Structure 1
């Protein structure tokens, strides 16, 4: 039986952290008998859920120690009993994930009951509100040169494509320092100011199969008083428990394109690079 979305989110919460990510990577390598060598935690999670489609078997692996499970459970439920076998801890951790998800559902139902006579428009969905808030925050900091390393995951990755009259240039980097340096140097090299389209037509949220929030945004590029092109970005966001549980970008895909007659407002429906991402699910309720 495939690992459920609830358990996938739980695995991310358990294993994608500074101290446990090495365990995750090693477990993924061992599971594939070293055929695959994932560098990214999300890739490792995908491999694990593909090759070990049973949450109990996965958590029973030797690499996931009793101490690791207890430390995690105690951080989430400090009142938990300490006298557990590993099998007990596995059951307790899974139970915590399922009960936590159920409590969030009941909270959302309670909130919905208060406004039961009001039907949300799609643009009012919580995931779109997160996307808009993130877009406002990111581009304000980026344009003002105040974006910093702490605003990104340390293993953040960037895929940048620049399309100009003289050809296409692509670059990739895989650390927060390189991502920040590449984005900043590109902006300064061309003198760009990023003007995001913060209407629903220009910025929306999606959810990938592992519970990662994906912010899709597009807008226009400006130099001084001239509009010189368009941009299209996809940000993969994860919550950082060590930064007040704020959403931080872990993956960034960005396309910059020069145009002689750019549109006044660039829209997602006209994007060249975001159409596949726009097909991802749009959750209608609050995000955990």
Structure 2
């Protein structure tokens, strides 16, 4: 899908100014993998439009920060609320450009922009951070259910917060160190006899980035005992690369909720989770992970 002319004009308005030209040049060098020497703003914008080819994807690039988008939108639409995620700001800016294009949003359904929302939804599932999150979720729960998690799978200073809500009350557990985290995870599973069935679709597992650059994997699913669904679980894992283990991603932080239910849903989703809503507002990078 190519970038429309009025989106090109909007991108020029956003990036080709004294404040944001350094971001524009950095972005162009990034998408061309420094193959070309790029020093002129118009040349850089041309490379971006050609190489990325999608307005939503381009605005979600890591170098285009939430702060940059907010400052731009606030200059064009003074009084813009600060209570927006980056994804919200991207959509607001695109809507602003569409309105400025003298009725572009009212074109026939076969216009380029008419397909953008559905294309964005389809493409979002393939963002590198979501692909990695689903791969991690599958790996972790396979090992957890088969009692094959080992200490080297976790960071040595791993930390866990777990809340178990049962019919007879709630219990909270906190611990630090890989040994204690592994022991707590195993004990919880054995005590209640749970089998963890994660929802490995995009509706059940997604990735985010926290303010410290840590990858956050959000995962939910159903709890089973003796082939019967007995509750739901919601987990947030904080992952960091381990240079001593082939630079692989390893969990360092665990935050889990296990909740028994008389009539649990057939499929638990992130939208229905009560503990992960704040984490879902964290940024979702579209680039490959560093």
Deviations for 1:160-196, whole angstroms, at most 9, x for unmatched residues?
0000111110010010000000001110111110000
Q: Which position in structure 2 is the counterpart of 1:235?
A: 237
Q: Which position in structure 2 is the counterpart of 1:160?
A: 162
CA distance in 2, matches of 1:127, 1:238: 13
Query: What SS class does the counterpart of residue 154 from structure 1 fall into?
Result: coil
Query: What SS class does the counterpart of residue 148 from structure 2 fall into?
Result: coil
Q: Which position in structure 2 is the counterpart of 1:178?
A: 180
Q: Which position in structure 1 is the counterpart of 2:107?
A: none
The Cα of 1:107 is off from its aligned counterpart by 3.6
Deviations for 1:57-82, whole angstroms, at most 9, x for unmatched residues?
xxxxxxxxxxxxxxxxxxxxxxxxxx
CA distance in 2, matches of 1:267, 1:188: 25
255, 265, 280: which one aligns with 2:282: 280
CA RMSD of aligned residues (A): 2.6
Residues 265 and 160 (structure 1 numbering): CA distance in 2 closer, same or farther, change over 3 Å? same
The Cα of 1:273 is off from its aligned counterpart by 0.5
- 8 Å contact 1:108–1:285 — kept in the other structure? no
- 8 Å contact 1:108–1:286 — kept in the other structure? no
254, 263, 283: which one aligns with 2:265: 263
Query: Normalized against structure 2, the TM-score is what?
Result: 0.61
- 8 Å contact 2:239–2:250 — kept in the other structure? yes
Residues 103 and 141 (structure 1 numbering): CA distance in 2 closer, same or farther, change over 3 Å? farther
Q: Map of 1:68-83 to 2, 5 A cutoff?
A: none
Number of residue equivalences? 189
Residues 194 and 115 (structure 1 numbering): CA distance in 2 closer, same or farther, change over 3 Å? same
Residues 105 and 178 (structure 1 numbering): CA distance in 2 closer, same or farther, change over 3 Å? farther
- 8 Å contact 1:153–1:248 — kept in the other structure? yes
Deviations for 1:219-277, whole angstroms, at most 9, x for unmatched residues?
00001210000000000000000001000000000000000000000000000100100
- 8 Å contact 1:162–1:170 — kept in the other structure? yes
Deviations for 1:73-103, whole angstroms, at most 9, x for unmatched residues?
xxxxxxxxxxxxxxxxxxxxxxxxxxx9997
Query: What SS class does the counterpart of residue 155 from structure 1 fall into?
Result: coil
Query: What SS class does the counterpart of residue 218 from structure 1 fall into?
Result: strand
Q: Which position in structure 1 is the counterpart of 2:220?
A: 218
Q: Which position in structure 2 is the counterpart of 1:207?
A: 209
The Cα of 1:113 is off from its aligned counterpart by 6.6
The Cα of 1:106 is off from its aligned counterpart by 3.9
- 8 Å contact 2:32–2:51 — kept in the other structure? no
Alignment of 1:130 with 2:132, yes or no, is yes
Structure with max Cα Rg? 2
- 8 Å contact 2:161–2:174 — kept in the other structure? yes
Q: Which position in structure 2 is the counterpart of 1:193?
A: 195
Q: Where in structure 1 do 4 or more consecutive aligned residues deviate above 3 Å?
A: 100-110, 112-120
CA distance in 2, matches of 1:146, 1:108: 43
